[in-house]
Amino acid sequence: MADTSGGPVLRVAVAGASGYAGGEVLRLLLAHPEYRAGRLEIGALTGGSNAGTALGSLQPHLLPLADRILTETTPEILAGHDVVFLGLPHGQSAAIAQALPESTVIIDCGADFRLTDAAAWEKYYKSPHAGSWPYGLPELPGGRDRLRGATRIAVPGCYPTVASLALAPAVAAGIIEPTVHVVAVSGTSGAGRKPDVGLLASEVLGSARAYNIAGAHRHTPEIVQNLKAAATNSTENRDFDCAGADIAVSFTPVLAPMPRGILATCTAPVLVDAAQARAVYEKAYADEPFVHLLPEGQLPQTGSVLGSNAVTLQVAVDADAGLLVVIGAIDNLTKGTAGAAVQSMNLALGLDETAGLSTVGVAP
Amino acid sequence: MADTSGGPVLRVAVAGASGYAGGEVLRLLLAHPEYRAGRLEIGALTGGSNAGTALGSLQPHLLPLADRILTETTPEILAGHDVVFLGLPHGQSAAIAQALPESTVIIDCGADFRLTDAAAWEKYYKSPHAGSWPYGLPELPGGRDRLRGATRIAVPGCYPTVASLALAPAVAAGIIEPTVHVVAVSGTSGAGRKPDVGLLASEVLGSARAYNIAGAHRHTPEIVQNLKAAATNSTENRDFDCAGADIAVSFTPVLAPMPRGILATCTAPVLVDAAQARAVYEKAYADEPFVHLLPEGQLPQTGSVLGSNAVTLQVAVDADAGLLVVIGAIDNLTKGTAGAAVQSMNLALGLDETAGLSTVGVAP
Amino acid sequence: MADTSGGPVLRVAVAGASGYAGGEVLRLLLAHPEYRAGRLEIGALTGGSNAGTALGSLQPHLLPLADRILTETTPEILAGHDVVFLGLPHGQSAAIAQALPESTVIIDCGADFRLTDAAAWEKYYKSPHAGSWPYGLPELPGGRDRLRGATRIAVPGCYPTVASLALAPAVAAGIIEPTVHVVAVSGTSGAGRKPDVGLLASEVLGSARAYNIAGAHRHTPEIVQNLKAAATNSTENRDFDCAGADIAVSFTPVLAPMPRGILATCTAPVLVDAAQARAVYEKAYADEPFVHLLPEGQLPQTGSVLGSNAVTLQVAVDADAGLLVVIGAIDNLTKGTAGAAVQSMNLALGLDETAGLSTVGVAP
Amino acid sequence: MADTSGGPVLRVAVAGASGYAGGEVLRLLLAHPEYRAGRLEIGALTGGSNAGTALGSLQPHLLPLADRILTETTPEILAGHDVVFLGLPHGQSAAIAQALPESTVIIDCGADFRLTDAAAWEKYYKSPHAGSWPYGLPELPGGRDRLRGATRIAVPGCYPTVASLALAPAVAAGIIEPTVHVVAVSGTSGAGRKPDVGLLASEVLGSARAYNIAGAHRHTPEIVQNLKAAATNSTENRDFDCAGADIAVSFTPVLAPMPRGILATCTAPVLVDAAQARAVYEKAYADEPFVHLLPEGQLPQTGSVLGSNAVTLQVAVDADAGLLVVIGAIDNLTKGTAGAAVQSMNLALGLDETAGLSTVGVAP
């Protein structure tokens, strides 16, 4: 659209535009008020092995961009953009980032720069640690400050997003003992758009299965990192200090026959009663635009946040078992990936944090 | 949102806000630029047996309206609004319409005022004919003229929307013989939000079934009506005149295990070759903002139009069988219901026809 | 089929034949070798509000019984059968059982006689305790002895079946601390065939949601009961004695968009290493015909046990979190309900325990 | 199992045991009475690129065969078996068949030997015609005679199975004009177990799409062949002779988000009334064990035939449109592939045609 303001136009590139993360970034950008106002321009779209193909045949839901042709993913093509979103396989971001100017806002939807702990990275990713970038989860303590003006941003993993938001208030307030159990049911798009027999519809339809159990999933150390940060950064008076302690996270991902969504069940030994627990969450998220503590008794469901950037939570106490139970729902591609990326971009550029992002899901 | 323009604010009510049609109207209104600009206000939300309940427990995806309480559906409550959307069971619209001023824009998502032929109405709906209102399918010949400034609008049925848009150009151009076969695979939301055992997930998941076959479905006469109108209103030179003839429509709806979407397969004896057929459709929809003839070889899929107001079409000729084959996809709740309703509202009010409506689907 | 043996023919009735449990019992009986040999006859089929309806319109998958007409559910109609399966709403079994002879084998797929603890019953079911019957889970310690020759049998709940089989060996062997977390993802048929808006395909498709969290689900005390029994009945030398302790069970059920299947993730603090844990399970289930510990690294999936009576398990230790992780999969309607019922019938009647039951799933 | 009869044991091999067709053949063989009686032995299981892998990791639903190791697919390995099922990619069957003795019963689930018309083969498969074998659809006129004692059998395609059974009686009786429209909604397993991005769950879930439209699907000439044979072989007095005419078949396959099942909608201009049409079908299938004409008003659904060898049909006349409407449902992997293969084996070997095959589906 024509720029009607006369001001400078922001040029945005998406590397990996043929994947699910890249496609979702584009879906959100097409609805972004800056794009609608002609002040944000969608520039290069790159696609590795799909270079030369029209986007319309790869992402047929992005009709306004159907005629755009994917290019190769090179620093030369990405240069000359103000913002570059990366939706690439792990390990490819560092080289691209180094070749682009410091002033380019690079927002990496991949894992390369999420972990601060090199040992954790090497244990889980079996490769050298590239370093860490400001972490794109504004709702964590200190999150917004890290992101304002940042030019390198690591978008959180989808599971850590919901698990961290579900548990951080309890950790920060010290109302749980630091042994948390997370079982998260995910839609299939979290596994990416790779031709894997185990992800075929025939295999997935009508079936649920766990995978990467017993701490094997790469998102485990990221959850640990976030919860430790929540404890450390907290200024609350806590009955129980878990800042210095090792926070033990049991994480089990479960694949369910749905395309999107994560429903996380989080449990931990609790030190307070239900009303106190609820009060902690009400306070923590009172001013958050995207995190919604549902009314008592109403439970999150992934279908309600489809395509939205909302996180819905419910908090309860199982008095018999002595546990805090927190249920959280997100759309793994929106708040869990591309929504966080756009939210981070907004903060980095000084735009309204919520621009182009909705809390209205597409349901039923 | 606060009205920042100082102009008059449009007050909009939704009757039947707890159903799927009403919920989708609200989803679209929340994204409408007039709402965002504070010039459109969402007023009364009514819900029959759900009166007194918070919308958040019924439509949990509409987080910004979660605290709104549903009221009863009475003319008194609906009075005082500029626009009233009706998402009610068949037979309830006439009484409400009569009790509201002529100047109120009433947009009926139900069937009551769709059919012009009283005999067809009585045959299919087994009740007296209430009359007919301007038909909310702007893409049909003369459609926009009927809707501009209208204060009573009948939103088309979901199946007739896609079947009519898939076949009208061929009928208008006289390139087919007037015997058309439509088999349309639909998601479950088209059946509404009623507690019917046959619509339970347990019954639907993993299963496809036809229903109301052999002309029994109430949308059959609506498709006939639209195709006859397409023939009659056409100014094309046609090789074959089907305007005066009875157009025979074989319509078979099939329920598939998906929440949204209609994929219609339409076939009819063809009088031209593939290139000629394609040219007819290219011309018919060249300037339509929501109807997209896909590039040759690319086929419509409902997943690509989820939540969008787009209609995607592909046209082919089966030379061996001597048939035109048109495939069309829509979201039954958006373009098939609430999107058409909002598009019609825009035309009725003199707003940009596409305001608040997108051609970008939520995929995967 | 004609009885070719000349021996007595077993007459079997199914009360609640229009529901999912009753339908699955009939599916299994039709494949039972005694039925095929003409020595088991399917007698009365009762159906409450569906009395007078042909089974074919209610259970169209049971083609051989399509012409059978459902009757009302009365003791008179059920009398004269050797075996009576009950697939009735909670609270209806006691009256029927009292009216039938002691010698009639009554197998109750409902909850009425599962719990031995009257206080637990009253807390969770808000009604007087009717007593308890031999529990139809042969794989629990002492399970077979209770069932051989029994004439009253309580079929376990679907969740307790998989949770108990997943955890009982660890409890019996004392290799875990008695605080267990169970998050179980279930298909929709577990909720029964009732016209509930929340179970509509439109609501369930594409969405996962937790329900009855924080100990509110009625299957919670049943899991506790089974695990306590496993501890008490164990003759193992245990490092840790949990027999006398209160076993804390955190149970969270999650509804997923699939018609059948339960995938349970069970975690508990572990006292041994992975090899020792695996050895405990190998020993516990070495001779069980239906419980399969999968090879190391292979994870259970519900799709693989569809329609089968198999339970597939995997056991791992999360060394970082200090937890045992057990994943279990069943078909909730087969091993979780009707398969257990037929397995119990086989034991009660002195037939081959596995007769009519398969470990082969229908996949993909 | 041990052979208890003392008679010769039938040795059966399955080539392509890691695919969906091969897996379903094995599922059915495990339930076959000859296998249960120890008179049928499951010999070599071959798996191309999966040679050396345990079947349990590839087909986890076949627990009794979990430890079997797949071998390469060579004539040497397949030699020494009495029956060889082939579930191989197109083009591989001829070489294997030539290398095996004439007396070996070879049952090819692939397409290589289905078409009798070399020109049709070459047009659709772009390769030389290998010839044709007796066609494994016993329910077609003359079908059983062709199969009894046969040692080479071509299993029909899944779509032609249901389309042909839905239309053959009408063609044979001459009650329709020979222009038929078939729109068939299929589950994803019909596309095989190949890692194709378009078959990923993320792409398929929530979406329906047509493919290979306008006569492009390879099953089109097979439907034509079967309907021509039905006309030619018919001894009925027909009002309309379509034997010599070109039968025009419009075939549109539609992919739906379900793992199994085909729901075919078949329409054609009709020459008789509804009662006459129904009488034709009642007569045609009165004695067929697997083809069930449902009671009037009851419509087929694929969920009801899941895992069964049944074909359910409904016949109606759309009087307004002048059309016969036949709806048919099958399980594409059972009656559509492996069930037909086992049924054909039974006939070839002189066993009970229905042995090991059920008309009971797994539902819900």
> Mean pLDDT throughout C114-121?
94
- Let me know if residue C114 belongs to a domain: yes
Judging contacts by C-beta atoms under 8 Å, the chain C residues touching residue A303 are 203-209
| C263: alpha, beta or left? (left if phi > 0; alpha if psi -120 to 50) | beta
Residue numbers of B between 259 and 318 with CB closer than 8 Å to D: 259-261, 263, 265, 267, 299-304, 306, 314, 316-318
Residue pLDDT, tens place only, B193-246:
999 999 999 999 999 999 999 989 999 999 999 999 998 876 555 554 544 568
- Enter the ipTM: 0.94
Structure tokens at B156: 């088309």
With CB atoms and an 8 Å threshold, state whether D199 touches A204: no
Whether D262 and D122 map to the same domain: the answer is no
Closest residue to D265, CB basis, from B183, B205, B206: B183
Judging contacts by C-beta atoms under 8 Å, the chain A residues touching residue C265 are 183, 210, 213, 252, 254
Count of Cβ atoms closer than 10 Å to residue D308 Cβ:
24
pLDDT over 90 for what percent of chain D?
Answer: 90
Residue of A nearest to B23 (CA): A363
Query: Out of D109, D158, D242, D266, which one is annotated catalytic?
Result: D158
Whether A321 and A270 map to the same domain: the answer is yes
Closest residue to D197, CB basis, from A195, A202, A203: A195
Q: How far apart are CA B279 and CA A307, in angstroms?
A: 36
Cis ω before D364 (30° cut-off from 0): yes
> Mean pLDDT throughout C133-151?
95
Q: How far apart are CA C259 and CA C256, in angstroms?
A: 8
Q: Chains meeting C at 3+ CB pairs closer than 8 A? A: A, B, D
With an 8 Å Cβ cutoff, is C79 touching chain B?
A: no
Residue numbers of D between 85 and 124 with CB closer than 8 Å to B: none
With CB atoms and an 8 Å threshold, state whether B210 touches D249: no
Count of Cβ atoms closer than 10 Å to residue A154 Cβ:
28
With CB atoms and an 8 Å threshold, state whether A206 touches C256: no
With CB atoms and an 8 Å threshold, state whether C202 touches B196: no
Judging contacts by C-beta atoms under 8 Å, the chain B residues touching residue C258 are 205
Q: How far is A249 from chain C (nearest CA, A)?
A: 6
Give how many domains chain A has, as a whole number. Answer: 2
CATH number of the structural domain spanning residue A150: 3.40.50.720
Judging contacts by C-beta atoms under 8 Å, the chain C residues touching residue A203 are 303, 364
The DSSP string of C192-206 is: -S---GGGBHHHHTT
Q: How far apart are CA C100 and CA C79, in angstroms?
A: 6
Structure tokens at B45: 């939300």
The confidence score (pLDDT) of residue C5 equals 57
- Let me know if residue C83 belongs to a domain: yes
Could you give the 3-state DSSP secondary structure of residue B259? coil
Cis ω before A160 (30° cut-off from 0): no
DSSP 8-state secondary structure symbol assigned to residue B12? E
Q: Are strands A323-330 and A311-318 parallel, antiparallel or unpaired?
A: antiparallel
Q: How far apart are CA D21 and CA D27, in angstroms?
A: 10
Closest residue to B20, CB basis, from A31, A305, A364: A364
Range of the domain at C42: 10-155+337-349
Whether A240 and A209 map to the same domain: the answer is yes
Distances (CA, A) of C198 to A184, A205, B198, C255, D235: 21, 20, 14, 11, 55
- Let me know if residue B123 belongs to a domain: yes
Interface test with D, best of A49, A193, A194, A205 (most D CBs within 10 A): A205
The confidence score (pLDDT) of residue D6 equals 63
Residue pLDDT, tens place only, D16-49:
999 999 999 999 999 999 999 999 999 999 998 9
Whether B118 and B183 map to the same domain: the answer is no
User: Which of A192-196, C251-255, D127-131, D233-237 is least confident?
Assistant: D233-237
Judging contacts by C-beta atoms under 8 Å, the chain C residues touching residue B196 are 195, 200
pLDDT over 90 for what percent of chain A?
Answer: 90
Whether A185 and A78 map to the same domain: the answer is no
The DSSP string of B116-158 is: S-HHHHHHHH-S-------BS-TTSTTHHHHHTT-SEEEPPPH
Whether C246 and C324 map to the same domain: the answer is yes
Candidates C254, C123, C190, C170; CA nearest to A325 is C254
The confidence score (pLDDT) of residue D5 equals 57
Whether B121 and B190 map to the same domain: the answer is no
- Let me know if residue B302 belongs to a domain: yes
Residue A190 pLDDT grade (very low, low, confident, very high; cuts 50, 70, 90): very high
> Mean pLDDT throughout B263-286?
97
Whether C26 and C87 map to the same domain: the answer is yes
Whether B70 and B109 map to the same domain: the answer is yes
Residue A235 pLDDT grade (very low, low, confident, very high; cuts 50, 70, 90): low
Cis ω before B364 (30° cut-off from 0): yes
With an 8 Å Cβ cutoff, is B361 touching chain A?
A: yes
Q: Chains meeting D at 3+ CB pairs closer than 8 A? A: A, B, C
* Enclosing H/E stretch for B40: strand B40-46
- Let me know if residue D57 belongs to a domain: yes
Cis ω before A364 (30° cut-off from 0): yes
Candidates D300, D306, D325, D323; CA nearest to D315 is D325
Burial class, C284, CB count within 10 angstroms (exposed 0-12 / middle 13-18 / buried 19+): buried
Q: How far is D137 from chain C (nearest CA, A)?
A: 21
Candidates D348, D360, D183; CA nearest to D254 is D183
Closest residue to A193, CB basis, from D193, D200, D257: D200
Residue pLDDT, tens place only, C266-310:
999 999 999 999 999 999 999 999 999 999 999 999 999 999 999
Candidates A80, C27, A304, D120; CA nearest to B61 is A304
Average pLDDT of chain A is 94
The DSSP string of C218-250 is: TTHHHHHHHHHHHHHH--S--SS--SSSPPEEE
Angle (deg, nearest 10), helices C158-173 and C220-233: 30
Catalytic residues of C, by residue number, are 158
* Enclosing H/E stretch for B57: helix B55-58
Residue pLDDT, tens place only, B21-58:
999 999 999 999 999 999 999 999 999 899 999 999 99
Q: Chains meeting A at 3+ CB pairs closer than 8 A? A: B, C, D
Whether D145 and D165 map to the same domain: the answer is no
Residue D7 pLDDT grade (very low, low, confident, very high; cuts 50, 70, 90): confident
Q: How far apart are CA D184 and CA D160, in angstroms?
A: 10
Closest residue to C302, CB basis, from A208, A318, A364: A208
Residues forming a β-bridge with C265: C183, C327
Q: Is a pLDDT exceeding 80 seen at residue B341? A: yes
- Let me know if residue B355 belongs to a domain: no
Residue of B nearest to C196 (CA): B195
Token pair 């006569």: residue: D215
Q: Is a pLDDT exceeding 80 seen at residue A241? A: no
Q: Is a pLDDT exceeding 50 seen at residue D3? A: no
Judging contacts by C-beta atoms under 8 Å, the chain B residues touching residue C206 are 259
D289 contacts D247 by C-beta, under 8 angstroms: no
With CB atoms and an 8 Å threshold, state whether C252 touches A325: yes
The confidence score (pLDDT) of residue B3 equals 47
Count of Cβ atoms closer than 10 Å to residue B52 Cβ:
10
Judging contacts by C-beta atoms under 8 Å, the chain C residues touching residue B187 are 202, 205
The confidence score (pLDDT) of residue D1 equals 43
The confidence score (pLDDT) of residue D141 equals 87
CATH number of the structural domain spanning residue D214: 3.30.360.10
Judging contacts by C-beta atoms under 8 Å, the chain A residues touching residue B288 are none
The confidence score (pLDDT) of residue C79 equals 95
Cα torsion through C362, D3, D7, D10, rounded to 10: 40
Closest residue to A359, CB basis, from B64, B205, B304: B64
Angle (deg, nearest 10), helices C274-285 and C158-173: 120
With an 8 Å Cβ cutoff, is D195 touching chain A?
A: yes
Count of Cβ atoms closer than 10 Å to residue C35 Cβ:
20
Candidates A66, A27, A116; CA nearest to B307 is A27
Give every CB contact of residue D250 below 8 A, 6+ residues apart in sequence.
B181, B267, B318, B321, B323, B325, D179, D180, D181, D182, D215
- Let me know if residue A53 belongs to a domain: yes
C13 contacts C43 by C-beta, under 8 angstroms: yes
With CB atoms and an 8 Å threshold, state whether D360 touches C308: no
Whether D219 and D298 map to the same domain: the answer is yes
The confidence score (pLDDT) of residue B4 equals 52
Average pLDDT of chain B is 94
Q: Are strands A10-15 and A83-86 parallel, antiparallel or unpaired?
A: parallel
Distances (CA, A) of D227 to D135, D162, D171, D222, D244: 13, 12, 7, 9, 11
B96 contacts B118 by C-beta, under 8 angstroms: no
A299-332 per-residue burial string, b: 16 or more CB within 10 A, e: under 16: bbbbbbbbbbbbbbbbbbbbebbebbbbbbbbbb
Structure tokens at A196: 């894997």
**In the Cβ-directed half-sphere of A41, how many Cα atoms lie within 13 Å?**
14
Cα torsion through C334, C338, C340, C341, rounded to 10: -170
Residue of A nearest to D204 (CA): A201
- Give the dihedral sign, CA B237/B243/B245/B251: positive
Q: How far apart are CA A27 and CA A64, in angstroms?
A: 10
Residue A3 pLDDT grade (very low, low, confident, very high; cuts 50, 70, 90): very low
Q: How far apart are CA C117 and CA A3, in angstroms?
A: 73
Whether B222 and B102 map to the same domain: the answer is no
Q: Is a pLDDT exceeding 70 seen at residue D263? A: yes
- Let me know if residue D243 belongs to a domain: yes
DSSP 8-state secondary structure symbol assigned to residue D360? B
Could you give the 3-state DSSP secondary structure of residue D88? coil
B15 contacts B84 by C-beta, under 8 angstroms: yes
Interface test with C, best of A205, A207, A220, A249 (most C CBs within 10 A): A207
